[in-house]
Amino acid sequence: MTLPRCQLNLCVMYIPITFKNFDSEESFLNLQNKFSILDERSNPYEPEVNQKVIKKDFNIIIKELNPITYKDVYQSRSFYNDFLFKAIDNLSKRYLSFLSKQFENTVFLDKDKIRLFAIKEKDKFINVGEVFKTANYLDSQIYDKLEIQIDIIIEHLTEVHIHQNSNLEEKLKFKLGKGVVLVLFAMLREKKYIDAPYNVDFGKFIDDNFLWWDKKEKNYKPFKKSNKLISDYINYNKSLKNPLKVLEELLTDKSFYNFPYS
């Protein structure tokens, strides 16, 4: 049985989207076309579809039933503002809800299995973020929103399922601030003293193996999203002034070179 267009409209307008809808130009175009063909003004038997991704917002007309008068009401709905942006803002919530249910499976009774799965998922989302970063078919506002959702997921995986179940004592502790350590690593790489061509792998190595010193709270903390922070420093999206000042003071202190230390 075929649903009337108005009912079909409502079903599709509010179905959840996934990160897969953005991983290629074809996938994103398909999502736009699913929205476009629901326009009441189009021919239901020969709907017009877009051949290229539309980066500017566009509207369709949908038919809704007025719950008071029981009469059809025609409403304008925009792809970006009314549909897509709201759906993207819900992506991390939906993923984390799924993850919680996944961990109820008896397969994940072992904490080590949870940690390994979380590490795999974290790596997946880091790579997804890199794909989105170079996706020129996505509007910058879409990318910014997707990046926020990915960051929420990565932070949850790191704080709740990876570091919580790992032995932080096994990590190397830097008695230096987070930015200082990251800038030091970035400088060593830029000068070819470290061979790590990809920010994703470089950041993951730092996250997995080092701790930084929080001077205010006076304790060591794990790194997270180091790949993004390193990119921000390299691209001057974050100030280098304070980290470079600390490093300069450290490396120009003559007593630093009195080795071996007593």
Render pLDDT for 91-140 as a digit per residue (tens, 0 to 9): 999 999 999 998 888 777 788 888 899 999 999 998 999 999 999 999 99
pLDDT for 62: 85
Q: Is the pLDDT of residue 6 over 50?
A: no
Q: Is the pLDDT of residue 260 over 80?
A: no
pLDDT for 4: 45
Render pLDDT for 51-107 as a digit per residue (tens, 0 to 9): 999 999 999 988 877 778 888 888 899 999 999 999 999 999 999 999 999 888 877
Alpha-carbon Rg of the chain, whole angstroms? Answer: 25
Q: Using pLDDT thresholds of 50, 70 and 90, give the confidence band for residue 9.
A: very low
* Closest to 10 (Cα-Cα) out of 85, 77, 91: 77
Q: Output the DSSP codes for 131-185.
A: HHHT-TTS-HHHHHHHHHHHHHHHHHIIIIIISTTS-GGGSEEPSS-HHHHHHHH
User: Residue 79 carries which DSSP code?
Assistant: I
Sign of the C-alpha dihedral computed for residues 225, 227, 232 and 238 taken in this order: positive
pLDDT for 261: 63
Q: Is the pLDDT of residue 8 over 50?
A: no
Q: Is the pLDDT of residue 212 over 70?
A: yes
Render pLDDT for 140-183 as a digit per residue (tens, 0 to 9): 999 999 999 998 998 889 878 887 656 667 789 999 999 999 99
Q: Is the pLDDT of residue 19 over 90?
A: yes
Q: Is the pLDDT of residue 201 over 90?
A: no
For the segment 36-53, the average pLDDT, to the nearest whole number, is: 80
